[in-house]
Amino acid sequence: MKAAYQRWELNAAVMVLMVLAVPGQGRADWNAERQAFYKDIVVADPEPGRDYRVFVDNDIYSRAQESLADIRIVLNNNQEVPYALFVFPQNTTASEYESKIIANFVSDKANTVIIDINKPGQKNNRVLLDIDNRNFSRRVMIEGSNDARTWEALTRDAYIYDFSFGGNPAPGEVQLQRAVDERYTVNFSFATSSRNTAVSYPENRFRYLRITVCSALNEAPLVIEKVMVSSCREIAAEESEYPCSIQTVVADEKEKCSELILALPGQNIPVSSLNISSSSKNYYRTVFIQASQDRKKWMDVGRGDIFNYNRENFKDSNQVLRFPECRFPYLKLIIHNQDNPALNIDAVVAKGLNRSLAFPYERTGTLRIYYGNPNLKRPNYDYSRFIDAAYARNFPIVTLSEAQANPAYVLEEKEQAWTEKRPYLLWTVLGVITLVLLSFVAVMIRKMRE
């Protein structure tokens, strides 16, 4: 009896797993009825056998799936062409050198340090100053030499700064706690700090560097503890700019802030920074950034500081706000003015990393990119596995035509799993199993009584 029970239990478990685990049947083939829109891929000087790249544009972002899984490239309207999707962020490589401070002079007008890189002939183009001071702004001059006697100017108008404002908000200052919906709550303290003590200059091979940090009248000299020298190489990110439409500007007198609502030129556009153009001068503002799909529920996505100073001893600005990439059609800027006049915001431009598709062009013909099906699954091509990103970045760039509605498109229902199509079957099987189990328990109880 025990063996029979174990066999029955195993068979029942297998039956339930078979019912629950039957996968939905996905289709990997392409046909013209499955995509709502298309664009022609324009190859100016086609060379069969070469690989090319094309950038995803605003229309594709807005009408394709957010993941871009429904994109297909098709040749002559009948042959699917494999592709690989790439994103190229900024790439920075740096070689750092330990340096030794061999002279340190302090006067009423400047700090001057001379450092020995101790690596003759090594390229360098950046120094990072280790400074303990807070709340300062200084002009910096850097000179180079191979004998520490004759000096050549590398830069005369660089600036370093530290703008620090307390740790906890004082009474009356702003501390934001915004519960934009039941899933997302963020605390932001108004306490802020912006700091930059790195200086870049033309690449050179000097062994000695003389760094002069200028001080204005009544400014205390800075204490330079250490200097790190490096050779930096930056490969710029592939990004696109998206001018934003300023929808509303509201002044909040109670919170001493200005709120701007911005609209991007499409849906699902990936953005990760904003460039703020303002005609105002000599200001510093903390800005909170929120995002929304409908201008009703807002989600905090980041914060940053913008400033613009044009004084005799300090001229520098930062008008870029950076935040984690998001894909919302609306952004809100909350600019905290404190007791200062509101800024004049002239324009806002969003920027985000491009998505590009690399593909082989094996023979001439009409190439099209199709998109606009919410149900299609991402294709799985061998091509995407062996194309190296560094290699693909050098592929020639081709362009796209205007979007066209696909007259052959037929909206298909989202494919359901086999069990979802037959919900009655699952409940029937579970009912049968329950009855069998109850019968088995009744038999066991009767046996025990006997």
Residue 232, pLDDT above cutoff 70: yes
User: What is the CATH classification number for the domain harbouring 374?
Assistant: 2.40.33
130 domain residue, yes or no = yes
pLDDT confidence tier of residue 405, bands split at 50, 70 and 90:
very high
Alpha-carbon distance values, 60 to 118, 234, 243, 356, 358 (Å): 54, 30, 17, 12, 16
> Per mean pLDDT, which of 5-14, 175-184, 329-338 is the most reliable?
329-338
Beta pairing, strands 110-116 & 192-196: unpaired
**Cα 131–307–93 angle (5° rounding)?**
55
Q: What is the pLDDT of residues 189-211, one digit of tens each?
A: 445 568 899 999 999 999 999 99
Mean pLDDT over residues 284-291, rounded?
Answer: 95
Question: CA 189 to CA 166: how far, in whole Å?
Answer: 10
Residue 97, pLDDT above cutoff 50: yes
Residue 217, pLDDT above cutoff 90: no
Q: What is the mean pLDDT of the chain?
A: 84
440 φ, ψ (degrees, to nearest 5): -65, -40
Note down the domain range covering 55: 35-88+355-405
3-state secondary structure of 445: helix
23 domain residue, yes or no = no
343 domain residue, yes or no = yes
Are 339 and 218 members of one domain? no
- Percent of the chain surpassing pLDDT 90: 58
Q: What is the pLDDT of residues 349-359, one digit of tens each?
A: 999 999 999 99
Residue 247, pLDDT above cutoff 60: yes
DSSP 423: H
Last residue of a domain, one of 314, 334, 353: 353
pLDDT confidence tier of residue 418, bands split at 50, 70 and 90:
low
Q: What is the pLDDT of residues 104-125, one digit of tens each?
A: 988 878 899 999 998 778 899 9
340 domain residue, yes or no = yes
Q: How many C-beta atoms surround the C-beta of residue 289 within 10 A?
A: 22
Residue 54, pLDDT above cutoff 70: yes
Q: Higher confidence at residue 423 or residue 306?
A: 306
Are 98 and 169 members of one domain? yes
Are 100 and 152 members of one domain? yes
Residue 292, pLDDT above cutoff 50: yes
Q: How many CA atoms lie within 13 A of 34 on its CB side?
A: 22
168 domain residue, yes or no = yes
Quote the number of domains for the chain. Answer: 4
Are 328 and 363 members of one domain? no
Are 422 and 362 members of one domain? no
**Cα 31–34–35 angle (5° rounding)?**
110
22 domain residue, yes or no = no
Residue 392, pLDDT above cutoff 50: yes
Residue 67, pLDDT above cutoff 90: yes
Q: Higher confidence at residue 18 or residue 243?
A: 243
3-state secondary structure of 232: strand
Are 42 and 68 members of one domain? yes
Residue 26, pLDDT above cutoff 50: no
Question: CA 259 to CA 295: how far, in whole Å?
Answer: 13
Are 164 and 183 members of one domain? yes
Mean pLDDT over residues 388-411, rounded?
Answer: 92
Amino acid symbol at 228: M
Are 131 and 221 members of one domain? yes
Alpha-carbon distance values, 43 to 7, 106, 332, 397 (Å): 65, 63, 39, 9
The token duo for 230 is: 């490096």
258 domain residue, yes or no = yes
User: What is the CATH classification number for the domain harbouring 205?
Assistant: 2.60.120
Are 251 and 267 members of one domain? yes
Are 229 and 108 members of one domain? yes
Are 78 and 135 members of one domain? no
21 domain residue, yes or no = no
Question: CA 219 to CA 2: how far, in whole Å?
Answer: 91
Question: CA 439 to CA 444: how far, in whole Å?
Answer: 9
